[in-house]
Structure 1
Amino acid sequence: GEAILVRQHRHGAGSDFLELPGGSADSHSEDPREAGRRELLEETGYEAAEWIYCGYHFPNPALQANKMHTFVALGCRKIAEPRLDPFEDLHVVRIPLAEAVGKWINGEFKHSLISASFGMTLKTLRERGLIGAELIGLGGASPVDRG
């Protein structure tokens, strides 16, 4: 399978980052899955046939109680062009999942929240039998391509 990522300029760090598509809910009442659907479409122009919840983590529990929810979107297909906010500087990056895993293992996901979410995504895919342990460096069976 492929990974749909974005390369986004982060002004605070002054450089580009390889990231998972995502963002914040528009309101406290917006469902995290709906926010994920909206963000995937806005940032990439893709929609997914299936969404699997991977879990959440606290980005900064010393100061804030907000949660960052992670989903994996399966069966993605492009249905539109990205609709970026004026301040967003990002580009869609489609690469083989094995290549994305290699980039993660080699430390190329420099945004700590994205790296944590990518790890949660791989754990979920592995637990559901959608990828093999070999893909994430655990040995064992070969990866399963679910296209």
Structure 2
Amino acid sequence: MIAIAQRVSRASVRVGGTEIGAIGHGLLILACAEPDDTDAIADKLIAKLLKLRVFADGQGKMNRSVVDVQGGLLIVSQFTLAADLSGGNRPSFTGAAGPELGRAIYERLLATARAAHPQVAAGEFGADMQVELVNDGPVTIPITLRP
């Protein structure tokens, strides 16, 4: 699984001009399932994100998690994270999971996150989405997990 975690002041996602998910301060997660991903990998990603210490403590050090600061999670599927440019300038996305597995892993991410955290918003799998965010810091963390 490939993911990008961005600490945000706010973030939202729209489909067809309609806002379908939004958070205030928290983490925007762009997530891409890969062909070998499993439910266990999705669960591991959520556990890692909930413990990721990227929010400032009283001394200004990144020492607090999204749970500690009572922030939100906005989870958006993004297969383009698997882009491969080794063959030229047009990206290949063969490293991304197919639509069926991709949807199943994305739905598992959401279910696991919602079971563990009170503020979870989502994009729409496979939709043309417009994501708006105010990156706080900026803090952007790439995460790669393998089975």
TM-score tier, shorter chain, comes to under 0.3
TM-score (norm. length: structure 1)? 0.27
The structure carrying a bigger strand percent of its residues is: 2
- Structure with the bigger RCO (C-alpha within 8 Å, sep 6+) is 2
The structure carrying a bigger helix percent of its residues is: 1
